[in-house]
């Protein structure tokens, strides 16, 4: 209901002020980003995922609070006053931004009020093909898809269940649906001029020997950047050791044969705000004063 009239034009290329899509990488350019935590739930079940609301943890899937789309617009106005270097409004959780409509509604509000911002989405990709055109209409120019495997047998061990068209699907069938959606979404987004990054969570014993294969597949689908995120052991994988520096280096080397590898990821929270590696304005944004407003 929030979406405006359709557009047949390709998405505009981002300005280059994105801290995680530019060639310099996060923390090396004065480019800020604002993550808006508007998406509460998810449509797949990753074995390493532990979503939470707190101020403490520095990892994806964690936020101080959940925002409604109109609260997210107010937070964006406030963030731009505090940090005019913010050029990117991103939605990366705490759940999957395409599992519900909150992210699309938020992007529509922000695109109308601040058309100069690059809208940026991070998703597991399950619903990317069906939602791509709506995302482009609301100003999304950069998309990150998390692809942890392109082999269904491996993927089924990482995310054993999905919700697909209203029903629960498990195991290899679920993995095949997820991988097919991710690849189709990446292909179609790249065709439409979206800058496409792929995140892959490096999980020793599950996909550590698989990174080159993932990189090759997503590069041939049209992704331009690859970000290997070392596992933070939690939930069902709480007993798994995180990858060593040598395992991370090897995985990056193998992926680098096929695609440009991004190695500055800060594993940001779902409510991160500021310039990665330089400034963090989230406490000021979500302080008591804002709560009272």
Report d(CA 82, CA 289) in Å as an integer.
Answer: 14
From the list 162-170, 247-255, 259-267, 279-287, the region that binds ligand SF4 by CB under 6 A is 259-267
Site membership for ligand SF4, residue 252 (CB under 6 A) = no
According to DSSP, residue 226 is labeled E
Question: Binding ligand SF4 by CB under 6 A: which of 17, 36, 44, 147?
Answer: 44
Beta strands in 43-166 (DSSP E): 44-45, 52-53, 62-63, 86-91, 118-123, 140-146, 161-164
Pairing of strands 118-123, 140-146: parallel
Question: Binding ligand SF4 by CB under 6 A: which of 14, 32, 87, 95?
Answer: 95
Coil vs helix vs strand at 259: coil
Q: With CB under 6 A, what is the number of residues at the site for ligand SF4?
A: 20
The neighbouring-strand residues paired with 277 are none
Question: Binding ligand SF4 by CB under 6 A: which of 11, 17, 26, 38?
Answer: 26
**Closer by beta carbon to ligand SF4, 11 or else 62:** 62
Question: Binding ligand SF4 by CB under 6 A: which of 266, 278, 279, 284?
Answer: 266
Q: Which two tokens stand for residue 286?
A: 């979500």
Residues 108-127 that bind ligand SF4 (CB under 6 A): 124
Site membership for ligand SF4, residue 273 (CB under 6 A) = no
Site membership for ligand SF4, residue 100 (CB under 6 A) = no
Report d(CA 93, CA 57) in Å as an integer.
Answer: 15
Query: What's the min distance (Å) between Cβ of 265 and ligand SF4?
Result: 3
**Closer by beta carbon to ligand SF4, 20 or else 140:** 20
Q: Which two tokens stand for residue 33?
A: 């980003």
Query: What's the min distance (Å) between Cβ of 276 and ligand SF4?
Result: 5
The residue whose two tokens read 């997820």 is 178
**Closer by beta carbon to ligand SF4, 10 or else 54:** 54
Site membership for ligand SF4, residue 38 (CB under 6 A) = no
From the list 88-96, 103-111, 172-180, 206-214, the region that binds ligand SF4 by CB under 6 A is 88-96
From the list 78-86, 160-168, 208-216, 264-272, the region that binds ligand SF4 by CB under 6 A is 264-272
Coil vs helix vs strand at 28: coil
**Closer by beta carbon to ligand SF4, 49 or else 143:** 49
Report d(CA 118, CA 110) in Å as an integer.
Answer: 10
Residues with Cβ within 8 Å of residue 160, at least 6 apart in sequence: 45, 47, 170, 171, 174
Coil vs helix vs strand at 247: helix
The distance from CA 12 to its chain's CA centroid, rounded to whole angstroms, is 19
- Mask for 158-187, x = binds ligand SF4 (CB under 6 A): ------------------------------
Report d(CA 161, CA 175) in Å as an integer.
Answer: 8
- Is 195:141 a contact under the CB 8 Å cutoff? yes
According to DSSP, residue 238 is labeled T
Site membership for ligand SF4, residue 230 (CB under 6 A) = no
Question: Binding ligand SF4 by CB under 6 A: which of 11, 14, 17, 20?
Answer: 20
Interface contacts to ligand SF4, rule CB under 6 A: 19-20, 26, 33, 42, 44-46, 49, 61, 93, 95-96, 124, 227, 265-268, 276
């Amino acid at each position: 209901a929030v979406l405006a009239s359709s557009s047949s034009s390709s998405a505009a290329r981002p300005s280059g002020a994105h801290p995680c899509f530019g060639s310099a990488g996060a923390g090396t350019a004065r480019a800020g980003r604002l993550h808006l935590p508007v998406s509460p739930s998810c449509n797949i079940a990753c074995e390493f995922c532990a979503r939470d609301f707190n101020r403490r943890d520095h990892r994806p899937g964690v936020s101080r609070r959940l925002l409604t789309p109109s609260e997210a617009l107010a937070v964006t106005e406030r963030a731009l006053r505090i940090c005019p270097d913010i050029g990117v409004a991103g939605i990366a959780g705490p759940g999957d931004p395409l599992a519900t409509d909150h992210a699309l509604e938020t992007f529509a509000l922000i695109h109308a009020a601040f058309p100069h911002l690059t809208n940026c989405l991070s998703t597991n990709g399950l619903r990317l093909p069906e939602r791509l055109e709506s995302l482009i209409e609301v100003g999304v120019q950069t998309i990150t898809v998390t692809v942890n495997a392109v082999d269904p047998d491996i993927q089924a061990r990482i995310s054993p269940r999905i919700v697909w068209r209203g029903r629960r699907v498990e195991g290899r069938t679920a993995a095949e649906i997820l991988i097919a959606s991710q690849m189709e979404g990446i292909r179609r987004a790249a065709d439409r001029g979206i800058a496409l990054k792929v995140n892959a969570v490096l999980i020793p014993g599950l996909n550590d020997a698989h990174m080159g294969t993932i990189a090759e597949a997503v590069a041939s689908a049209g992704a331009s950047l690859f970000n290997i995120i070392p596992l933070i052991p939690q939930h069902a994988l709480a007993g798994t050791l995180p990858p060593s520096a040598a395992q991370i280096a090897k995985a990056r080397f193998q992926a680098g044969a096929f695609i440009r590898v991004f190695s500055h990821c800060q594993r940001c929270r779902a409510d991160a705000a500021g310039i990665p590696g330089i400034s963090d304005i989230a406490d000021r944004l979500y302080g008591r004063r804002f709560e009272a407003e």
